[in-house]
């Protein structure tokens, strides 16, 4: 089998066997450029079965159309008479359950919210494409070594299923179901406890312990947002993932508002007591100016030491949250505008690295670095190269290339170049209508 794969893909060398499940065999391979990849082939029991091969062919075609930075890249695939081979991006890291076990504690609210927002982003993309997964399992949610979300096995029923986040045995079928599934992932991240480990009956009855039981620093409005997302009654959840996303973004900003800070409440008897104490101290130790100033800086119940200590802890916690959240005041639109997405460019015969880099407003050095290439000599026709793009825009009715370029703040020349349309006559209305029709997806390059 190894010799056969290396014969079909001479630019790859098989390094090791990874695993075998009921349907597929996986090998770790290295491209001649030095990049690691995973080659997936049909298990021996299913080789030669036309129905299986045809299904894999359809599957590969579907995956090849799904380009999203939080989905694994499919570099290439080959269908033969008795087998099928798919070459995938190699994902380092672990599934979400193993990741949380390695953390040995709950994640900070900021980190948990960032991961959940990433998960919502990729699920929204798949829902729009009509390819949303029927389940959301621990084995599907992958956390990379740089702590980013990758959702794998979205339409591959052979992917080993882990612990299901959805509380019932049924498949996800309504927007509120996705909200609850994502909410349970959020609960897992912010408490360090998988909801299923606390008892499935608690999920079904809505009696999961509050997140504050495991993470005392959680803010009240975050707790409220989380409780609404995982409510057992679909009618009382957020209606869809967009509304959950808005609530999470609002909660991120609210955690920094002054109204949420904890202060010691002062009342008249307490003020009088403190004043008399300071006055007595001033009369008795007139010469100790420093001690007097120190005393006037503090106002608390003298006999309630535990309350004061709790206040100090809370004040330190709020300060730490404020210092670590400088970037949380971005709106949803601002966040999306700053994300550079991964896109797979298939090298054409005669195409050079410099031409590809210029097409996407990148430098050759950047292109080599993100593809783990030592030099441009390793570029071959038909090979998939990872590039950075700003967005994939679907043309709407009454949109023109000029309005699309203006919307994203780029020139018309940049838009045409990124989509391989530099040679068209933009003054010819028929040519424009032929190339820029509603529903076509355009590559939006990153800014120079």
140 within some domain: yes
CATH (domain of 178)? 1.10.510.10
| Whether residue 158 has pLDDT greater than 70 | no
Residues 216 and 310 in one domain: no
210 within some domain: yes
Residues 398 and 412 in one domain: yes
Residues 115 and 230 in one domain: yes
Residues 78 and 111 in one domain: no
Can you count the helices (H) and strands (E) in the chain? 17, 11
169 within some domain: yes
CATH (domain of 414)? 3.10.350.10
**Domain span at residue 279?**
268-327
Provide long-range contacts, Cβ within 8 A and 24+ apart, for 282-287. none
| pLDDT, tens digit (0-9, with 9 covering 90-100), for 292-335 | 444 444 444 444 555 556 666 666 665 655 554 443 333 333 33
Domain-ending residue, one of 196, 226, 255:
255
Are 25 and 38 contacting, i.e. CB atoms less than 8 angstroms apart?
no
Residues 78 and 98 in one domain: no
17 within some domain: yes
333 within some domain: no
Domain-ending residue, one of 298, 327, 356:
327
Into how many domains does the chain fold? 4
Residues 53 and 155 in one domain: no
Q: Is the dihedral of CA 202, 206, 207, 208 positive or negative?
A: positive
131 within some domain: yes
Residues 281 and 236 in one domain: no
67 within some domain: yes
| pLDDT, tens digit (0-9, with 9 covering 90-100), for 193-212 | 888 778 777 777 777 888 88
Domain-ending residue, one of 27, 60, 89:
89
| pLDDT, tens digit (0-9, with 9 covering 90-100), for 65-123 | 888 888 888 888 888 888 999 998 898 889 898 899 888 788 888 888 899 999 999 99
157-161: average pLDDT: 49
376 within some domain: yes
Residues 212 and 296 in one domain: no
Burial class (CB in 10 A: 0-12, 13-18, 19+), 271: exposed
The 10 Å CB-count burial string (b at 16+, else e) for 274-291 is: beeeeeeeeeeeeeeeee
Residues 281, 291: Cα–Cα separation, whole Å: 9
Residues 352 and 242 in one domain: no
43-51: average pLDDT: 88
């Amino acid at each position: 089998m190894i010799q056969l794969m290396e014969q079909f893909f001479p630019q790859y060398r098989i390094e090791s066997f990874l695993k075998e499940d009921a349907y597929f065999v996986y090998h770790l391979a290295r491209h001649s450029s030095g990049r690691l990849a995973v080659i997936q082939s049909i298990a021996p029991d299913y080789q030669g079965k036309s129905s299986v091969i045809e299904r894999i062919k359809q599957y590969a075609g579907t995956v090849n159309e799904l380009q999203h930075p939080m989905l694994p890249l499919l570099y290439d695939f080959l269908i033969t008479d008795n087998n099928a081979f798919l070459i995938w991006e190699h994902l380092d890291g672990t599934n979400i359950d193993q990741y949380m076990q390695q953390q040995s504690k709950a994640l900070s609210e900021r980190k948990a919210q960032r991961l959940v927002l990433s998960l919502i982003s990729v699920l929204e993309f798949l829902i729009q494409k009509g390819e949303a997964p029927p389940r959301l399992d621990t084995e599907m949610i992958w956390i990379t070594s740089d702590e980013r979300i990758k959702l794998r096995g979205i339409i591959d029923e052979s992917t080993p299923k882990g612990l299901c986040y959805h509380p019932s045995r049924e498949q996800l079928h309504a927007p509120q179901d996705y909200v609850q599934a994502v909410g349970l992932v959020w609960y897992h991240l912010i408490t360090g406890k998988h909801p299923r480990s606390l008892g499935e009956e608690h999920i079904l009855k809505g009696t999961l312990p509050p997140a504050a039981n495991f993470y005392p620093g959680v803010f009240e409005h975050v707790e409220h947002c989380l409780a609404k997302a995982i409510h057992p009654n679909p009618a009382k959840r957020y209606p869809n993932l967009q509304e959950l996303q808005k609530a999470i973004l609002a909660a991120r900003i609210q955690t920094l508002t002054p109204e949420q800070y904890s202060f010691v409440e002062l009342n008249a008897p307490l003020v009088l007591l403190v004043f008399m104490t300071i006055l007595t101290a001033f009369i008795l130790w007139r010469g100790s100016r420093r001690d007097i100033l120190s005393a006037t800086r503090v106002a608390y119940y003298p006999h309630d030491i535990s309350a004061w200590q709790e206040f100090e802890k809370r004040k330190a916690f709020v300060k730490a949250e404020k210092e670590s959240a400088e970037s949380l005041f971005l709106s949803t639109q601002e966040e999306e505008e700053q994300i550079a997405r991964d896109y797979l460019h298939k090298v054409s015969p005669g195409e050079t690295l410099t031409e590809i880099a210029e097409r996407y407003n990148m430098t050759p050095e950047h292109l080599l670095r993100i593809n783990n290439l030592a030099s441009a000599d390793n570029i071959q026709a038909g090979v998939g190269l990872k590039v950075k793009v700003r967005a994939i825009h679907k043309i709407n009715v009454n949109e023109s290339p000029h309005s699309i370029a203006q919307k994203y703040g780029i020139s018309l020349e940049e838009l045409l170049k990124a989509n391989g349309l530099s040679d068209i006559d933009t003054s010819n209305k028929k040519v424009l209508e032929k190339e820029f029709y509603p529903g076509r997806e355009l590559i939006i390059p990153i800014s120079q």
